[in-house]
C-alpha cells in the first residue's frame, strides 16, 4: 500500500493507494475516527453500484457500522441542485446525525456531489473519498466539492476536506478505455504544471498506463496525488498557487457547458483545454514547440486536442465569461511557460483567447 498525507494541520488526512483496500475499509474507518454509533451514508452511481456497493455495505455492517445508501444517475447531470436535494432527503430519512459520515463511492461526479452534501448537512459532517476512476485521483484530493449551475460548472460549492482518501486500484480494472484515457489527462496535467520528468514519464509509459498495468498505474497515481497534495497543503483555499491545478480548465469547462455535460468526458475537455493553454503560452512568450510537445503527450494517451466545428467560438467565449476565473473584466488563465512549469496570468487579452479557440478548431 502507498500512503501520502495532505498536510493541513489539524485537518491533515491520508491518501491510501493499493489493492484490496475496500475489503479493509472498516479498519481504516476505525483508525481515522469514524464512529459506529451513527449511521454512515454511501453515495454512489448506477454504474458503480452493481460492482461494489453490496460488498462494501456487507463489509461495513459485518464490522458493526449502520449503513444507508443512495444511488444517483451516472454522469455530470447528477451534479445538480435537484439531485443534491434528493441526497439531503435520503440523509434525513436515514437519520444521519452530526457524528455521521458520507462515503463517496465513485468517480469525480459522485465525489463532488457527496462532498457538497457532507459540507452542508447539519452545517458539515465527515466524509470519505473512495474513488473508483483514474480521473478521481485528482478530484478526490483537496476538498473542493460542488454542484453545477446550468450557466457554469462548479459554481455552487465549498471547501470541505475528507477524513481520508481510500483508493482501491482494483476498481480501475473495469473502466472502459475512454474513461482510462480521460483519467490520465489529469495525471499528465500534474506533470505539465509542476514536474517535467513526470510529464515525460507519462508519455513514455502511455501504453502501460492505458493497459492499466498495476505497478505503472500505482506509481502514476502516487506521483499525481503527491503533486496535488503538495500544492493543496501550501494553498488550501486557492488564494495563490492552487489555481495552477486549473490548467486547461477555463476552456475545458466552457466546452463541457456548451456541449451539455455529455459529449465530452471531463478529462477529454481538459485535454483540449491544455492544448489551448499551450497555444496561449506560445502567444505570451513561451518557447516555440511547447504546443507541439504538449499535443504529442496528449495524443500518446489517446486524448482529443481539437475542437469540433459545432462548438461555436462566440458560445465558448460567453461560457468562459461565467467561469470563476473571470475577474474584473479580465480573463484569468493558467499558462505554461514550458513543460513542468506554469503560471497564473490575470489579464489575458480576449482577442488572444479568441485566436486560440479558432486555432484549436483547425488543429494548428
Helix (H, G, I), strand (E, B) or coil at 125: coil
Catalytic annotation present for 328: no
C-alpha cell at 167: 483508493
Among residues 249, 302, 324, 325, which one is catalytic?
A: 249
Packing angle of the helix pair 350-362, 266-283 (nearest 10 deg): 120
**Residue 228 bears catalytic tag:** yes
Of the residues 246, 256, 293, 302, which is catalytic?
246
147 is in an annotated binding site: no
Does 112 appear as a known binding residue?
Answer: yes
The answer to whether residue 144 is catalytic is yes
Q: Compute the half-sphere exposure of residue 211: CA atoms within 13 Å on the CB side of its CA.
A: 7
Judge whether 266 counts as a catalytic residue.
yes
Marked catalytic residue, from 160, 242, 324, 325: 242
Instruction: Say if residue 144 carries a ligand binding annotation.
Output: yes
Tell whether 160 is in a known binding site. Answer: no
123 part of the active site: yes
Tell me the C-alpha distance between 175 and 182, whole Å.
11
Contact partners, residue 49, CB within 8 Å, separation at least 6: 69, 71
C-alpha cell at 256: 463541457
Per the residue annotation, which of 137, 160, 266, 325 is the catalytic one?
Answer: 266
User: Is 171 one of the annotated binding-site residues?
Assistant: no
Instruction: Determine which one of 189, 190, 223, 228 is catalytic.
Output: 228
Q: Is 51 annotated as a binding residue?
A: no
Active site residue 160: no
> Is 354 one of the catalytic residues?
no
CA distances 229 to 127, 165, 210, 223, Å, are 18, 12, 24, 10
350 among the known binding-site residues?
Answer: no
Does residue 327 have an active-site annotation? Answer: no
Distance CA 112, CA 143 (A): 9
Is 109 flagged in the annotation as binding? yes
Does the annotation place 325 within a ligand binding site?
no
Annotated binding-site residue? 313: no
The binding site comprises 108-112, 132-133, 144, 153, 186, 249, 266
Binding residues for Zn(2+): 186, 249, 266
Active-site annotation, residues: 123, 144, 186, 228, 238, 242, 246, 249, 253, 266
Amino acid at each position: 500500500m502507498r500512503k501520502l498525507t495532505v498536510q493541513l494541520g489539524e485537518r491533515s488526512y491520508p491518501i491510501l493507494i493499493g489493492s484490496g483496500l475496500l475489503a479493509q475499509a472498516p479498519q481504516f474507518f476505525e483508525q481515522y475516527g469514524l464512529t459506529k454509533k451513527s449511521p454512515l451514508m454511501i453515495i454512489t452511481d448506477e454504474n458503480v453500484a452493481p460492482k461494489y456497493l453490496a460488498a462494501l455495505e456487507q463489509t461495513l455492517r459485518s464490522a458493526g457500522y449502520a449503513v444507508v445508501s443512495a444511488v444517483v444517475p451516472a454522469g455530470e447531470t447528477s451534479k445538480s441542485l435537484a439531485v443534491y436535494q434528493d441526497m439531503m432527503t435520503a440523509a434525513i430519512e436515514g437519520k444521519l446525525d452530526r457524528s455521521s459520515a458520507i462515503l463517496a463511492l465513485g468517480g469525480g461526479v459522485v465525489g463532488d456531489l457527496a462532498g457538497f452534501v457532507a459540507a452542508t448537512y447539519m452545517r458539515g459532517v465527515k466524509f470519505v473519498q473512495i474513488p473508483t476512476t483514474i480521473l478521481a485521483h485528482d478530484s478526490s484530493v483537496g476538498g473542493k466539492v460542488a454542484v453545477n449551475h446550468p450557466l457554469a460548472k462548479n459554481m455552487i460549492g465549498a471547501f470541505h476536506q475528507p477524513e481520508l482518501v481510500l483508493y482501491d486500484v482494483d476498481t480501475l480494472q473495469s473502466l472502459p478505455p475512454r474513461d482510462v484515457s480521460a483519467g490520465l489527462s489529469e495525471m499528465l496535467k500534474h506533470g505539465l504544471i509542476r514536474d517535467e520528468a513526470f510529464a515525460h514519464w507519462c508519455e513514455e509509459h502511455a501504453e502501460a498506463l492505458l493497459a492499466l498495468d498495476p505497478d505503472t498505474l500505482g506509481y502514476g497515481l502516487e506521483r499525481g496525488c503527491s503533486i496535488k497534495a503538495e500544492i493543496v497543503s501550501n494553498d488550501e483555499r486557492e488564494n495563490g498557487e492552487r489555481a495552477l491545478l486549473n490548467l486547461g480548465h477555463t476552456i475545458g469547462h466552457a466546452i463541457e457547458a456548451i456541449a451539455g455535460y455529455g459529449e465530452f468526458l471531463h478529462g477529454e475537455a481538459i485535454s483540449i483545454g491544455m492544448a489551448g493553454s499551450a497555444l496561449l503560452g506560445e502567444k505570451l512568450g513561451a518557447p516555440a514547440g511547447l504546443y507541439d510537445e504538449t499535443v504529442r503527450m496528449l495524443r500518446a494517451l489517446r486524448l482529443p486536442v481539437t475542437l469540433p466545428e459545432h462548438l461555436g467560438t462566440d458560445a465558448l467565449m460567453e461560457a468562459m465569461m461565467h467561469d470563476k476565473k473571470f475577474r474584473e473584466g479580465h480573463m484569468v488563465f493558467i499558462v505554461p511557460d514550458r513543460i513542468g512549469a506554469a503560471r497564473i496570468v490575470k489579464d489575458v487579452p480576449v482577442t488572444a483567447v479568441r485566436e486560440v479557440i479558432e486555432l484549436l478548431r483547425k488543429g494548428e
